[in-house]
Amino acid sequence: MAFNALIIIATCCRAFVGILLVSLMVMNSVHADPEALQDFCVADTKSSIFMNGRPCLNPMEASPEHFMTSALRKAGNLSANPLGFSVIVTTPANMPGLNTLGLSMGRIDMAPGSAIPPHIHPRGSETIFVVRGALNVGFVDTSNRLFSHKLVTGDVFVFPKGAVHYLQNIGKITAFIVSAFNSQNPGTAIVSLATFASTPAIPYEVLSKAFAISVQEVSQIRKSLGGT
């Protein structure tokens, strides 16, 4: 009888441990960046140490200024980008208190008729809030289904982590968008540049087969995008 009870207890313990491990895996999966092990880790922007993030200042050296930035206060120079948009982001370089917190923000300004080409953020999901203007936005899932929508002032839209997505200004005024990420460094890879303007180049024959175009057309696209 006692032996059977021990078997039941052992079985229950194994089941509990299994449930606990699955729960921990699910909880951890919602975070794009590793969890911090202290209250904060103000980035030491002068350190030359290369690591996954930035080294921490002594907490006693932290100040309120480390946790704020005015980087997003002014719009970027739209004329400096042939595509007609500007993106300014918060990073541990301009806001040291962000370090290890697993989040960041950005300011996007888009001239009328401009578009941010299809791109991905490999390390974070992105939420955008339209402060001013009218947009057409969308992302593509792994079954190649497009989720697109027209947004106006006050609307919010989310792009899942790693999904190819775009933004297009369909209004008559300069659009102003605020974006937020669940990563301090979500990264950005523009699909066309990553594909046709990589260094070294992806073999021309591979791109020719992938896009059903000739090698000569691949070469022409690469040159138009600044590749070699």
Q: Binding site membership for oxalate: which residues?
A: 121, 126
Residue ranges for the known binding site are 119, 121, 126, 165
SS3 track for the chain: CHHHHHHHHHHHHHHHHHHHHHHHHHHHHCCCCCCCCCCCCCECCCCCCCECECCECCHHHCCHHHHCCCCCCCCCCHHHCCCCEEEEECCCCCCHHHCCCCCEEEEEEECCCCEEEEEECCCCCEEEEEEECEEEEEEECCCCCEEEEEEECCCEEEECCCCEEEEEECCCCCEEEEEEECCCCCCCEEHHHHHHCCCCCCCHHHHHHHHCCCHHHHHHHHHHCCCC
Which one, of 116, 109, 130, 127, lies nearest residue 181 by Cα? Answer: 127
Residue ranges for the known binding site for Mn(2+) are 119, 121, 126, 165
Match 């590793």 to its residue by tokens: 34
